[in-house]
């Protein structure tokens, strides 16, 4: 929420000044009673957030004795790599880290098992935890199926891409086939 308030719907790295504003806003929120930082790395506008940015913000949270919660960057074919990123941050900083909605998806069970094994091996030496999403159905905005370059911008920009015939044709070519 803070990041999007700073740069809107752009998908890009923060400038040094923007990161300073984010850091100051986070520090103030923690001083006023916030208990930590959460990231939605699986969502379109946060998938490209660099690890260094997250680590810098998590250091602020750690100084204020807070915790870090994250939605993994990828819950499908790259779930093990995304899980390892959360474990690495937790291990590097010693910050309590919660993986939100840690769950297997049909067709990606093997990848989920590998990710679960990473968490199991890391704990208890690393303060990494997860909460389970106990439902057999999940909801996500339809735009999450679009390629990243289409999601760069606001909803109106996405709709413009879809309405432009040549762009729409290219989007349809690269969309995964749902069986």
| pLDDT greater than 60 at residue 148 | yes
In the 8-state DSSP scheme, what is residue 131? E
Tokens (6 digits) for 156: 């109106």
Reply yes or no on whether the pLDDT at 142 is more than 80. Answer: no
177 confidence band (pLDDT: 50, 70, 90): low
Distances (CA, A) of 6 to 20, 22, 163: 11, 8, 28
More confident residue, 164 or 83: 83
13 pLDDT above the threshold of 90: yes
Q: Could you tell me which of 92, 102, 89 has the C-alpha nearest to residue 37? A: 89
Q: What is the pLDDT of residues 20-75, one digit of tens each?
A: 999 999 999 999 999 999 999 988 889 899 999 999 999 999 999 999 999 999 99
Q: Which of 34, 45, 28, 66 is nearest to 158 (CA)?
A: 45
pTM to 2 decimal places = 0.81
């Amino acid at each position: 929420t803070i990041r999007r308030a700073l740069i809107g719907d752009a998908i890009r790295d923060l400038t040094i000044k923007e990161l300073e504003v984010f850091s100051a806003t986070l520090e103030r929120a923690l001083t006023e009673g916030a208990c930590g930082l959460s990231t939605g790395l699986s969502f379109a506008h946060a998938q490209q957030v660099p690890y260094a940015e997250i680590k810098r913000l998590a250091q602020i949270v750690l100084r204020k004795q807070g915790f870090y919660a994250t939605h993994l960057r990828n819950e499908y074919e790259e779930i093990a790599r995304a899980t390892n990123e959360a474990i690495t941050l937790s291990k590097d900083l010693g910050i309590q880290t919660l993986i939100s909605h840690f769950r297997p998806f049909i067709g990606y069970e093997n990848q989920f098992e590998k990710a679960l094994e990473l968490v199991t091996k890391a704990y208890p030496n690393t303060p990494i935890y997860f909460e389970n999403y106990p439902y057999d159905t999940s909801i996500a905005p339809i735009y999450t199926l679009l390629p990243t370059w289409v999601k760069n911008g606001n909803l109106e920009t996405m709709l413009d891409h879809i309405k432009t015939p040549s762009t729409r044709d290219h989007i349809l070519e690269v969309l995964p086939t749902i069986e």
